[in-house]
Structure 1
Amino acid sequence: MFEAKIKELGLELPPAPQPMGVYKPIVQVGNLVYLSGHAPLKSDKTIITGRIGDDMDVEAGYAAARLTGLAILATLRQHLGSVDQVVRLVKLFGLVRCTEAFDAQPSVINGCSELFRDVFGEDAGIAARSAVGANSLPGGMAVEIEAIFEVQA
């Protein structure tokens, strides 16, 4: 049902990102999967970089967060075989690389949150969430998002 929704929405998932360090992109413990921080990965495998409030505005940050959500979906699909194995999103944690004065981090992370709501629905796709500003992120990426999903055991 969620795979069909991805198709219905016309979403194209990138290849699942590979680790950029000593970690696993996803770890499953029982019926929970923990996704490491994901970056806004473009189809050419480059990452959107920038600082919201400086060389990027809220709309560009929102688009970067949405791309990050697509990368998370790609990792879920690779690990589970299908996103139809998802029961619900439990927790979303978003970091926004921004200026000290910028305070609209939730509006940026909504790019990912609204994507997950559209794919998984109002109940299963909306979770507990944090949206936090960061002075720097690896490689200068604009956002980094991690997630916890409940999946079918």
Structure 2
Amino acid sequence: MAIIEQRLAEMGLQLPEPLKVRDGLKLPFAWVRVRGTRAYISGHVASNPDGTLAKPLGKVGAEVSPEQGYASARLVALAHLASLKRALGDLDRVTAWLRVFAMVNVAPGFNETPLVTNGYSDLILALYGPDVGAHARSSIGMAIPLNAPVNCEAEVEIDGKSPGAG
């Protein structure tokens, strides 16, 4: 078993299926775009293991507590890892997490978005360690599609192997 997947298993974490959206909602983009030694990960929201949208939904600081927002950001990281696994074949191909752009669905007056986004960063650092997992990050408040508490996009550096190569 690959190292990162072994760490996920040891932490009791499961990678989710692809996001399931309502009929008629088209998403005409790639979840992960690999170009050279970079993988660009589209914005993801928190999902359950079966790919359904994770609850709670709503604005952090109103319907969603900061702690629930943190948990949602952690689920977004798992969704990113699942998409990377599907695109790359092996999560150990990630040689560096470069940047994370986090968008938090905030209630008026809530300005502690970094506390929420730490759920994403803490998981990546726990899995990959500081050498590979350290990343630049922005964390801003805005309205989020599907009323999800958190939406993140990211960019990683990968090795040059093709999927499945060992």
TM-score class, shorter-chain normalisation, is over 0.9
State whether structure 2 residue 100 is matched by structure 1 residue 92. yes
Pairs within 5 Å for 1:41-120: 41-44=47-50, 45-48=52-55, 49-120=57-128
**TM-score (normalizing by structure 1):** 0.94
3-state DSSP of counterpart to 2:108: coil
Superposed CA deviations along residues 49-88 of structure 1, whole A, max 9, x for unmatched, are 2100111111000000001110000001111111011101
Alignment partners' CA distance in 2, 1:131 and 1:74: 22
Aligned length: 152
Sort the Cα spacing of 1:123 and 1:62 in 2 relative to 1 into closer, same or farther, 3 A. Answer: same
State whether structure 2 residue 133 is matched by structure 1 residue 125. yes
Q: Is the 8 A contact 1:16 1:78 kept in 2?
A: no
3-state DSSP of counterpart to 2:59: coil
Which blocks of at least 5 consecutive residues in structure 1 are unaligned? none
Question: What amino acid is aligned across from residue 152 of structure 1 in structure 2?
Answer: D
Root mean square deviation, CA, Å: 1.4
Shift of 1:22: 1.5
- Residue in 2 aligned with 1:36? 42
Superposed CA deviations along residues 29-48 of structure 1, whole A, max 9, x for unmatched, are 10000000000111241233
The percentage of counterpart residues that share the same residue type is: 34
Alignment partners' CA distance in 1, 2:147 and 2:45: 10
**TM-score (normalizing by structure 2):** 0.87
Which blocks of at least 5 consecutive residues in structure 2 are unaligned? 161-166
Q: Is the 8 A contact 1:17 1:75 kept in 2?
A: no
Q: State which of 27, 39, 48 in structure 1 corresponds to 2:33.
A: 27
Max radius of gyration: which structure? 2
